[in-house]
Chain A
Amino acid sequence: MNQILELLEKGKKLRVIRKMQSDLTGIISDHEVYDHKESDVHMVSEKKQADVCMISADGNLTDCLHLAAELEGPLILETCFHKVFRYGLSAFAADLQKAGISAVRVPDLPYEERGQLAVYLLDSEGPFLISEITPASGDRIMAITRYARGFVWCLGRGIPEKLRELPGDPLEYYLYAVDAACPIPYLLDLPGRTEDELAAYADGAEGAAGYAILHPNLE
């Protein structure tokens, strides 16, 4: 069963922390990375928030998948599409499942190109390909979210001038629009915000699945 989908079904807010593959290698025995040790399962179920580790593949993808297989807890893999392409799309999808990864994020694979990988990730209980929306997505949000599973990655970058001219926080207008347009939960990725600010946005937005901390030093 997909651990992230399980957490979302239980109504947990996700706190996604990015770790670089190169940083993780060598500290996999340190439980700092993940939260869900077997003995703590009963405590986790009482928390409203669940930590999810996002491994950013800055090295060899094969090594990254082996590393992921040794980690516990819900995992997201972030990689560029070139590495997936060179690995082989169907082999990659199969190895994602074997490594226990719940979701994969490929930032340079937009909606128009995602079909070639998504076709291998159709198992409803297997890993899912994360779709991404931005303020510039506009009318495409409906098409992007139609076949999305789990949650949508909501990137708060490239806010249009029209929104910036309005009084108040332009992000709030954007999130209001995303709330209206997005039928599935969305994860907030808002660059330049502290964790407290991210948590406040996630709490304030009705459809937010949680937030992501991408800066490696932001703990």
Chain B
Amino acid sequence: MERRGYYQSFGGQYVPEVLMNALGEMENEHLFVAKDQCFTKELDFFNDRYSGRMTPLYLCRLLSKKYGQPDIYIKREDLAPGGAGCASAIAGQIIIGKRIGKRCVLAAPYDLDQALLVSSLSAAMGLANLILVPRETCLHGTRAKLDRMSLQGSRIRIIEGGWQKTQEAAADIWAEGQEEMVFVRFRADGPHPYPLMIREYQKIIGQEIRIQLQEAGGKYPRMITASAEEDACAIGAFYPWLADGDETVGNSEETHHPEPHYPGIHHPVPDLLLAESVSRPLYTKGTEGIGDGMRSLFLLDEQDMPQGPGAEPELASYIKEGRLKALPITEEDALDAALEFARTEGILPSRASSYAAAALLSKVMEYGFDDNVVVVFSGKAEKAWIDACLRREAEHESDS
């Protein structure tokens, strides 16, 4: 990050003046706590005792045997509370908010699993919360989740319209209530300092992969793949390896999970693969623009305006530098990969994770017998995805 808040040309703070003070408060506190043991201990407490970290790194014995090449591992972020892989990021932001005296957590999640996570963590930390949910996510069968959030003390506001309207409503509410509210995000995007903060809290995923593979047999991964649509799991899984590209192994003083450190031994950076859907090719075909408080890659509509969330700025910069590769995956390949993992290992990945699974299976034969490859799973397979898998399975059966 050369210019404050920028990753090459991506990033920045493109928000109204009324929000700049709130962003400044978050940034100052984040920089202050970077070396603060109290913050680290509290975050570790929630990660370990509340979220159940470390999440397992599961060796897919049957799948690895079937392909006969490298050992295939799944990083089970889908076993985190609610299945949302951004628990560490949410916990970190709420702790920051609490430290600077905020009394309420404001969130505008993409789905109800993220909303549940905010509801749970803010209740556990003694803060109120206000969750804005777009009407389009309140589909059949989501009543139970909304009721659960109400029981946990959440205030829920349903916003008519989609993601864009919800973000605008959240910005308005935060502008008026910034003295008592902390706004939390779920992906490493948005205005600075959010991409920085969320990456720092989520990098525990990549650090755990490193430790767990060392314990499993001492071999570092040759490839790691994650989905672009999973909440901040990709940057979390990739960052420790990308940061490693220049320096030594991560900071063992800053987490109570000590990392192995082998002075003088250079570990090659694994191939890092970011899977995205061909129907939303943000990282491969996105256009640079300004939206959601940042300069990044967006898909533009007919009026040349950003449509939906943009690319995470740091990931976009790594792809531009060539340190990370984005791979577009069709829905059919994602469905086939989901069925493969479900049938062979008994794990049905979520829609987003299925794209990562498909990317892994498409590249697995390029690695050797002695190699390890890792795919990050997060989220739960929703009903719509399960129905799509059933239809795909029926198609296969009718073809055969």
Which residues of B in the span 1-19 have a Cβ within 8 Å of any Cβ on A? 4, 12-19
Chain A residues packing against B (C-beta within 8 Å): 59-60, 80-83, 85-86, 107-113, 132-134, 136-138, 140, 144, 155, 157-158, 160-161
Task: Please indicate the chain A residues that have their CB under 8 angstroms from the CB of B16 in the complex.
Answer: 107-108, 110, 132, 134
* A113-B12, A160-B179 as given contacts; A85 in contact with B290, CB under 8 Å: yes
The smallest C-beta distance from B179 to any residue of chain A, in angstroms, reads 5
Give bound CA distance, A2 to B22, whole Å: 35
**Interface stretch of the complex, out of B302-310, B369-377, B379-387:** B302-310
A136–B13 CB distance below 8 A: no
Check B17 against A82 for contact (C-beta < 8 Å): no
Contact of B291 among A82, A132, A158 (CB under 8 A): A82
Task: Tell whether, in the assembled complex, residue B21 and residue A136 are in contact, meaning their CB atoms are under 8 Å apart.
Answer: yes
Q: Which of B14, B180, B305 contacts A108 (CB 8 A)?
A: B14
Q: CB-nearest residue of chain A relative to B20?
A: A110
* Contact status B17-A110, CB under 8 Å: yes
A-B contacts, 21 of them at CB < 8 A, read: A59-B303, A80-B290, A82-B289, A82-B290, A82-B305, A82-B306, A83-B304, A85-B290, A86-B289, A110-B16, A110-B17, A111-B17, A112-B4, A112-B13, A113-B14, A136-B20, A136-B178, A155-B18, A157-B18, A157-B176, A161-B179
Residue of A80, A82, A85, A86 with most partner-chain B CB within 10 A: A82
- Please judge, given known A-B contacts A60-B303, A80-B290, A161-B179, whether A113 and B13 are in contact too, CB under 8 Å: yes
* Nearest B residue (CB) for A135: B18
Assess the B289–A137 pair: CB atoms within 8 A.
Answer: no
Residue of A nearest to B298 (CB): A82
Q: How many residues of B contact A (CB 8 A)?
A: 27
Which chain A residue shows the least CB distance to B295?
A: A85
Q: Is the CB of A134 within 8 A of B18?
A: yes
Q: Which residue of B lies closest to A59 (CB)?
A: B303
Q: In the complex the two chains form, is A136's CB within 8 Å of B22's CB?
A: yes
Is B175 among interface residues, defined by CB-CB distance under 8 A? yes
Quick one: CB contact mask for B274-291 with A, threshold 8 Å, 1 for yes?
A: 000000000000001111
> In the complex, given contacts A86-B304, A158-B176, what are 5 additional A-B residue pairs having Cβ atoms less than 8 angstroms apart?
A80-B290, A83-B305, A111-B20, A134-B16, A161-B180
- In whole angstroms, how far apart are the Cα atoms of A60 and B302 in the complex? 11
The answer to whether A137 touches B12 (Cβ under 8 A) is no
Q: Chain A contacts of B290 at CB under 8 A?
A: 80-82, 85, 108
- Nearest to A82 among chain B residues (CB) is B290
- Chain B residues in 8 Å Cβ range of A107: 16-17
Closest residue of chain B to A153 (Cβ to Cβ) is B17
A158 to chain B: closest residue by CB: B18
User: B167 → chain A, closest Cβ, in Å?
Assistant: 12
Cβ contacts under 8 Å, B18 to chain A: 134, 136, 155, 157-158
The contact string, 1 if C-beta is below 8 Å from chain A, for chain B 164-180, is: 00000000000110111
User: In the bound complex, what is the Cα–Cα distance between A110 and B15 (angstroms)?
Assistant: 7
Contacts of A158 in B (CB 8 A): 18, 175-176, 178
Contacts of A160 in B (CB 8 A): 179
- Of B15, B18, B288, B304, most buried by chain A (CB within 10 Å of CB) is B18
